[in-house]
A and B are shown apart, each in its own frame.
Chain A
Amino acid sequence: MMEIRPILSTLRRHRVILWLLMLEIALSCAIICNGVFLVVQRMQHMDMPSGIAEHELVQIQQAPITPPPDRYARAQEDLATLRQIPGVQAVGMTNQVPFGGASSNGNVMLSPTQPHRTLSAAEYFGENLVPTLGLHLIAGRTLRPDEYVKVDMVIKALADGSSKGFPMPMLVSQALATRLWPQQSPLGKLLWLAPTASFRVVGVVATLARANAYNTATAQYSMIIPLHMGADKDQSYLLRTRPEDRQRVLAAARTALEHADPGRVVTHARTYDEIRSDYFKDDHAMAGMLVSVIVAVLLVTGLGIVGLASFWVAQRRKQIGIRRALGATRADILHYFQTENFLIVTFGIVIGMVLAYGLSLWLMMHYELPRLPLSYLPIGAVALWLIGQAAVLGPALRAANVPPVVATRSV
């Protein structure tokens, strides 16, 4: 076991440099702990489940040059056209897709007269969504074709304040069902999206994420409502196919739609994977930036340790020579510098943990971030211990190679 006292008394003579090093290590520790935490958070965010068969879906959006005489008939024709494409397993239509960005949300109430909404949830309007998206129905039944209503009728009923046609059937996601009716079966339950618009839950899907899932807690609150939306620029046709057929199906779908009506423009034709990666691109960039800063901090700190350790070794050549002449082995000298580094880094880490926690509190105040879990503190410590030992090895080996004869020379 190395004697620590002589190391400490030597360090006391180099207080300024010692404090600088400790401060640098403390700051690095604070940045690394919080940085790693932020990266992990981003990765968890990017891993958010959508609940759909992501790799089997393609989306195509079109917009007419002049509105078709019958938007509903146009939608049915288009769906029929797309179903003809070889390799297509299912075709659906929707007003939004998970992580698609542009969203449609409704204010959910559990009674028509309650003063405040209970929560906001995504409203999926569309056709044939459960089989096309590959949703997992865990209770009740799916929506029947005869339950679909044209959106015009609903808009008119709402404008007139009439409750004719309500309650309409709907599907809800399990997360929404559990939040609205904890410990109860949601089947048959009623909810309101407007004072006169009531809906009855007929089925529950396991997972269906919102189009704008900013907040993890509410990201899975979704409803599917049987509305014929008709063809317009905001609706997407979704085609399910085998992953390897996606590009071919997309090209065929574009051609088929353009062929069916040359007077329209296909505005989007992409795989669902592209939609998802587009949605999370900023998180991806942020995680990349964080990782580079963490690596850079470690490198700079490591290089700083190399520089200062070399300085110390050069400064103490004579003392090292004397110790060697008095019988210290090379290993003793090596261990001396390694222990010294370990001590400095440890002091730095202790300050750094406090700093890391303070930084986390500051971040919580200014940004919507959770508190840094204590389990992240050791990550910074281990990283810095490792980089410290790696950095000091070179100078320490050089010190160990100082020959005892140096003791007898005056410079």
Chain B
Amino acid sequence: MFAYYLDLALRSFKRHKTLTALMVLAIAVGIGASMTTLTVLHVLSGDPLPGRSGELYYPQIDPQDARGMMPGHLPPDQVTLIDGMNLLRAKRADRQALMEGGSVPIQPDSSSLDPFYVEARYTTADFFAMFDAPFLYGHGWTGASDEAHARDVVITRQLDDRLFNGADSTGRALRIGGSTFRIVGVLDTWRPNPHFYDLDTGAYDYYEQVFMPLQTALELHFDRNGSVDCWGNGTGGVEGGAYPSATCAWLQFWVQLDSPAKAAAYKTFLVHYSEEQKALGRFERAPNVRLDNLMQWLDYNGVVPDDVRLQAWLAFGFLLVCLINTVGLMLAKFLRRSGELSVRRALGASRCALFAQLLTESGVIGIAGGAGGLLLALFGLWMVRHRTSDYAPLAHLDPAMLGVTFALALGASLLAGILPAWRACHVAPALQLKSN
């Protein structure tokens, strides 16, 4: 029966080419626009570490002075160096890492390469295991290297390709900013998006190429990147001269807590830590702590640009206009065929059969519109990629969104077909046939 309805639908399309084309076009542009924006939204609001993100937490404490305190005031987004080191050494979590972004000059041995700057991350030993960073060669450094300010460095596959033509470079020396480092590991391609662990250096499409122990970088006065929040007489420092002062929050501290119970216990620990620091006179405010998990932290920071959400809403508004348009056109088309439908009714087709036939027709329009929409969405995403936004390179359609495209197109066109089909199969056959 379905094949027969399909055949009827195709015949009807041939008879009303313009009207059919208009409907397919309307669905296609609507679907194309919504899928483009929805895909961008989907990519940007994705989970950077699926499977692991639920166990990663970002502790916040409030070391600011009593001045300017207001009830409900949120603690700073980063930690001071003192608090970061204290929390790191307390080792109360399953894993923990203190970190800061920076940039360092690489001085290649080969004379054919000029020195160049790369983005760097200064961090502590647990970073790689905690964030599931995949190693191509070697491994991360140890806690002992952290304490010893060891000249150990982990580089990315990209930098390894550039400097060593992709060879296993572990154990080799690398000159960075006038000091000699030993390469202990090479990371395979690892691109968490958003760049969740430090949103200030760049939220999307931002990748470090060099990782080194935090203490080592601080000892060598390497340049830092990112935001600094100071209070009291605190100053943000100058590059190569001074790091931000003790009353400035400028580092990120992450912990891994394997169970909700551990997370609750860690939060209690943060409160105790704040009370202890207050008793020591370092903190002036009552304990004010937060402990977000990774996805909550991204949400708290509003990491997905408002514009991207707005664009998605706008596109769906447009899709709605296109759908109403299609409903109208379909209604006109079906009603115009009252004569033909009456003949089928008179020949014994039930209302149900008529309804099924007309819905088949709108479904076919939906699939055609979906295919057109897919092409338009691919074109739309290509346009997005050619924009200069930070997130532009990430705008690619994945299989899930491909499925959503067709589901949306088919669902939308069937929805658009219901009212017209229902109206059309309620024609009074006798009246129609008589008047014709």
Contacts and interface: CB of A to CB of B under 8 A. Distances in A.
B301 to A, nearest CB: 15
The interface centre, meaning the residue of A16, A161, A312 with most chain B CB atoms within 10 A of its CB, is A16
B325 interface: yes
B105 interface: yes
A230 interface: yes
Interface string B318-331: 10111011011101
Contacts of B309: 366-367
Contacts, number: 171
B328 A24 contact: yes
Interface in A226-240: 229-230, 232-234
A290 B315 CA distance: 10
Interface in A345-399: 363, 366-368
A243 interface: no
Given A66-B177, A117-B68, A300 B332 contact: no
Contacts of A20: 324, 327-328, 331
Contacts of A31: 314, 317-318, 321
Contact of A278 (B116, B329, B388): B388
Contacts of A155: 235, 237-238, 242, 245
B18 to A, nearest CB: 8
A196 B315 CA distance: 53
B79 to A, nearest CB: 20
Nearest to B311: A289
Contact of A303 (B22, B33, B317): B22
A301 B310 contact: no
A35 B33 CA distance: 15
Contacts of B239: 232-234
Interface in A274-301: 278, 281-282, 285-286, 289-290, 293, 296-297, 300-301
B117 interface: yes
Given A194-B233, A233-B103, A301-B321, A311 B26 contact: no
Contacts of B171: none
Interface in B290-316: 305-307, 309-311, 314-315
Given A232-B223, A265-B117, A286-B311, A300 B322 contact: yes
Contacts of A194: 232-234
Contacts of A408: none
A188 interface: no
Nearest to B228: A104
A281 B388 contact: yes
Given A27-B324, A67-B221, A155-B235, A293 B332 contact: no
B52 interface: no
Contacts of B317: 27, 30-31
A290 B314 contact: yes
Contacts of A232: 223, 238-241
A65 B233 contact: no
B328 A308 contact: yes
Contacts of B306: 367-368
Given A282-B389, A308-B328, A293 B310 contact: no
Contacts of B335: 311, 315
Interface string B329-356: 1011101100000000000000000000
A311 B325 CA distance: 14
B387 A285 contact: yes
B387 A281 contact: yes
Contacts of A367: 306, 309-310
Contacts of B318: 31, 293, 296-297, 300
A158 B103 CA distance: 27
Interface string B158-189: 00000000000000000001100000000000
B67 interface: yes
Interface in B65-81: 67-70
25 contacts: A17-B328, A20-B327, A24-B321, A27-B320, A35-B314, A63-B105, A65-B177, A71-B238, A115-B69, A152-B241, A155-B237, A158-B234, A159-B245, A194-B232, A232-B240, A265-B116, A281-B389, A285-B388, A300-B322, A303-B26, A303-B325, A304-B22, A311-B335, A367-B310, A368-B306
Given A194-B233, A304-B325, 9 more contacts: A24-B328, A63-B117, A67-B240, A282-B389, A290-B314, A297-B318, A303-B26, A307-B329, A315-B336
Interface of A: 16-17, 20-21, 23-24, 27-28, 30-31, 35, 38, 63-67, 71, 104, 115-117, 151-152, 154-155, 158-159, 161, 194-197, 229-230, 232-234, 263, 265, 267, 278, 281-282, 285-286, 289-290, 293, 296-297, 300-301, 303-304, 306-308, 311-312, 314-315, 363, 366-368, 411
